[in-house]
Amino acid sequence: MNDFNVRVTEKDDISILYVEGFLDAHTVSAFESSILKLVKDKKYKIVVNMQKLEYISSAGLGVFMGFIEEIREQGGDIKLTNLSDKVFRVFELIGFPTLFDILPDEEEAITKFNAI
Amino acid sequence: MPVKKTKKYTLSVPGVTNNLATIRAFIRRIALKGGFTEDDTEEIELAVDEACTNAMKHAYRFNKEQSIDLEVALDSRKITIQISDRGLGFEADQIKPPDLKKSIMEGKPGGLGIHLMRSLMDEVRFRMNPGKKNTVTLIKYRSQYPS
């Protein structure tokens, strides 16, 4: 069994999601629920730290695509950080780097949010 | 390790997503054993995951009573994976590369899986016979030949 885990912490008005393990069509509902809860709570500044994400399929990518427009309309963003080469390659194949803010680390994402 | 003749492997699992990890482990073991590089193996795993996810989601609508059958053939030049279901099928030729901006505007991501399969594998073929047998064939040639 390939497990997936997501943990959320707050830094001021920024929510940081630490995702870990394998994000596929089976585990995606846990990730989707976490993002949905943030949106319902009107927390639109979101950083997803992927340092411990070992695998992502299109099911996981679809969650970003499903929420990003609504979040940006509310003045927020989903910033992606700490991607491994393997995970970045999947994002690249889909064309995500032109549409999403992909940054080397969490601190840089927080700095960018605070600069707005 | 040289592979002189075609080796065949099969796996049949219920068409629900908790079997994706089993499917990936099955494919990974064969690809690595067959001498594919780690990078190639990861690409094959993801392409097979996408094909199986499509079958579970669209062909079977997550019906665990239905099975997905995998047949893998490994030879000195390539790995061929056939993924078959007996579900609804779809018009694969009608599926165009995803328009990301449009999908984002509409909040409806779709077609990503087939786009990924086509990007990751050297050949992707669909043979649809809805209700009887729909088969997706994925082929990857070796980027490094076994010594």
What are the residue ranges spanned by the domains of chain A? 4-114
Q: What are phi and psi of A100, to 5 degrees?
A: -120, 150
Q: What is the pLDDT of residue A1?
A: 65
pLDDT of B2 strictly over 70:
no
pLDDT of B3 strictly over 90:
no
Q: Is residue B2 part of a domain?
A: no
B44: Cα within 13 Å, side-chain hemisphere:
33
Q: What is the pLDDT of residue A4?
A: 97
Interchain contact B6–A (C-beta under 8 A): no
Q: Hey, are the CB atoms on B109 and A57 less than 8 Å from each other?
A: no
Q: Is the dihedral of CA A10, A11, A17, A21 positive or negative?
A: negative
Nearest to A62 among B42, B112, B119 (CB): B112
Strands of chain B (E only): list them: 7-14, 67-74, 78-85, 123-127, 134-141
Q: Is residue B49 part of a domain?
A: yes
Which CATH number does the domain housing residue B125 bear?
3.30.565.10
Q: pLDDT (tens digit, 9 = 90+) per residue, B64-111?
A: 788 999 999 999 999 999 999 998 877 776 677 777 777 777 766 667
pLDDT average, residue stretch A86-93: 94
Q: Is residue B28 part of a domain?
A: yes
Q: Is residue B102 part of a domain?
A: yes
Whole-angstrom Cα distance, residue A103 to residue A97?
A: 10
Predicted confidence band of residue A18 (pLDDT cuts 50, 70, 90): very high
Q: Is residue B1 part of a domain?
A: no
8 A C-beta contact, residue A50 and residue A39: no
CA-nearest residue to B22 within chain A is A1
> How far is CA A110 from each of CA A49, B33, B143, rounded to the nearest angstrom?
11, 44, 40
CATH 3.30.750.24 fits A4-114, yes or no: yes
Q: What is the pLDDT of residue B147?
A: 47
Whole-angstrom Cα distance, residue A109 to residue A98?
A: 16
Whole-angstrom Cα distance, residue B53 to residue A60?
A: 12
Share above pLDDT 70 across residues of chain B, in percent, rounded to a whole number = 88
pLDDT average, residue stretch A12-16: 96
Whole-angstrom Cα distance, residue B84 to residue A93?
A: 25
Q: Is residue B99 part of a domain?
A: yes
Q: Is residue B48 part of a domain?
A: yes
Do the interacting molecules here have an ipTM over 0.90?
Answer: yes
Nearest to B119 among A24, A93, A99 (CB): A93
Range of the domain at B38: 7-141
Q: Which two tokens stand for residue B75?
A: 């030879």
Q: What is the pLDDT of residue B146?
A: 53
Q: Which two tokens stand for residue A63?
A: 């969650």
Contacts of B104 in chain A (CB under 8 A): 65, 68-69, 99
Q: What is the mean pLDDT of chain B?
A: 87
CA-nearest residue to B113 within chain A is A58
CA-nearest residue to B42 within chain A is A86
Share above pLDDT 90 across residues of chain A, in percent, rounded to a whole number = 91
pLDDT of A15 strictly over 70:
yes
- In terms of average pLDDT, the best of A12-16, B52-56, B139-143 is A12-16
The domain tally of chain B equals 1
Which of A28, A57, A86, A101 best tests the B interface by mutation, with the highest count of B CBs <10 A?
A57
Whole-angstrom Cα distance, residue B31 to residue A53?
A: 22
Mutual angle of helices A85-94 and A58-73, in 10-degree steps:
70
Q: What is the mean pLDDT of chain A?
A: 95
pLDDT of A111 strictly over 80:
yes
Q: What is the pLDDT of residue B145?
A: 60
Share above pLDDT 90 across residues of chain B, in percent, rounded to a whole number = 61
Terminal CA-to-CA distance of chain A, rounded, Å? 42
8 A C-beta contact, residue B77 and residue B96: no
Q: Report the amino acid identity of residue A99.
A: L
Interchain contact B95–A (C-beta under 8 A): no
Interchain contact B98–A (C-beta under 8 A): yes
Order of all β-strands in the sheet with B67-74: B7-14, B67-74, B78-85, B134-141, B123-127
pLDDT of B43 strictly over 50:
yes
